[in-house]
Amino acid sequence: MKLRNFKNFEFVDGGVCAAKGFLANGIHCGLKAGGDPDKNDLAMLYSAQKCTAAAMYTTNKVQGAPITVTREHLQNGIAQAVIVNSVNANTCNADGIAKAQEMCRLTAESLGIPAENVIVASTGVIGQPLPIEPIRAGIPELAKGLNPQGNTSAVNAIMTTDTVPKEVAVQFMLGGKLCTLGGMLKGSGMIHPNMATTLTFLTTDCAISAEMLQNALHEVVTVTLNRVSVDGDTSTNDMVCILADAQAENPEIRTAGEDFEIFKDALYAVLMNLARMMARDGEGATKLIECLCDGACDDKTAEIVAKSVITSSLFKAAIFGEDANWGRILCAVGYAPADFDIQQVNVDLSSEKGCIAVCRNGAGVEFSEELAKEILSEEEILVSVTIGTGAGAAVAWGCDLTYDYVRINSDYRS
């Protein structure tokens, strides 16, 4: 997938290790009996410096034990390390909290830091006890192998049904200093707006207070990860966290201003691209759907409409079949819980193969079915929905609904 570029930001390699001072590693510790030995299942991220830190979590009422422990650890806005496993979500287990705390203790012991400075996360099957023995045995090796190129093995370890690793990093200037912000994301299924279903880990060498870091994360997640849907299911273990170690030596961001805006733009560049990667890699997906809604009375109205379109199962199925069934778009627009005049709605479909108008003023217009088929044959489809003449606009991302989605989720535990 092509990265969406931003002026004044240079995209660089390295993911969570792109920023100064961060090390990572991933190993196969054997959490799944008979699992692929080439597939890592345990990852660690570390900074020798104490970092300001911030996080956001799933809105599901059922929450994994790692979220409970991480919330407690991040009350002071400080962290140095992340320990994360795939295969098992450590959720809905009587001993879940104890095992999440043990993962933190073992990590802290291996790194010589306080256990409360460790963030813990898990992803995988819900409701099965987490085997702690493989993790206990693997953490010393994991810590010993930490290195500034360890992002590749780390991102491999957090993947579940993901088919491709998802990493992005950018560089930018703040106060005359070169700063870097990078991240990695896991997410492919059980993805729906309101913290999506994702484990996302972000690092930056920018100097920024914990309060401003939390403010930036909340603002940017709202317009990126919270705008993605694959299947309408919100998971129990969603988490996005960011660590800032101040190694770039820029003047610390403590208040709103120009530097804070630049930092938020950098965070948006990373999270927006990760969000698009997640939507494109939705379970069984063959196409990325981007819906841009404009002409709304405000941004929130536009967001509601855009989300309604990308979550429509009927429309998602039509995109899989490369069928320009625009009535399904208008249907999804029409049941969106927002106020606008349906007789002002216009809809266009576009891709690298061209653009066609399919609806004007709430009614269909003639178009070439052959051209529509060609446009929808591309891997990235843009749906443009105009609902009036207002200044409000928003974008949301989803994917098509395919036979493989059912196949993947029919035997997920096996």
Beta bridge mates, 27: 42
In 3D, which of 396, 381, 302 has the Cα closest to residue 345? 302
Say how far apart CA 227 and CA 208 lie, in whole Å. Answer: 26
From residue 88, alpha-carbon distances to 130, 399, 407 in Å are 6, 26, 20
For 33: left if phi > 0, alpha if psi spans -120 to 50, otherwise beta; the answer is beta
Which helix (H) or strand (E) covers residue 289, if one does? strand 288-296
SS3 of residue 50 by DSSP = strand
Say how far apart CA 294 and CA 386 lie, in whole Å. Answer: 5
> Which residue type sits at 179?
C
> Which residue type sits at 28?
H
Asked if 354 and 374 count as a contact pair (C-beta separation under 8 A), the reply is yes
Cβ neighbours of residue 327 under 8 Å, at least 6 residues apart?
364
Radius of gyration from C-alpha coordinates of the chain: 22
Asked if 339 and 297 count as a contact pair (C-beta separation under 8 A), the reply is yes
Beta strands in 128-213 (DSSP E): 166-174, 177-186, 199-204
Calculate ∠ Cα 57-58-61, nearest 5°.
Answer: 125
Cβ count within 10 A of residue 246? 19
DSSP single-letter state for residue 86: S
The one catalytic residue in 197, 200, 236, 402 is: 197
Active site residue 197: yes
Say how far apart CA 372 and CA 355 lie, in whole Å. Answer: 8
Cβ count within 10 A of residue 72? 13
DSSP single-letter state for residue 115: G
Say how far apart CA 24 and CA 97 lie, in whole Å. Answer: 24
Counting every residue written for the chain, the total comes to 414
Q: How far apart are the first and last CA of the chain?
A: 30
Q: Which residues are catalytic?
A: 197
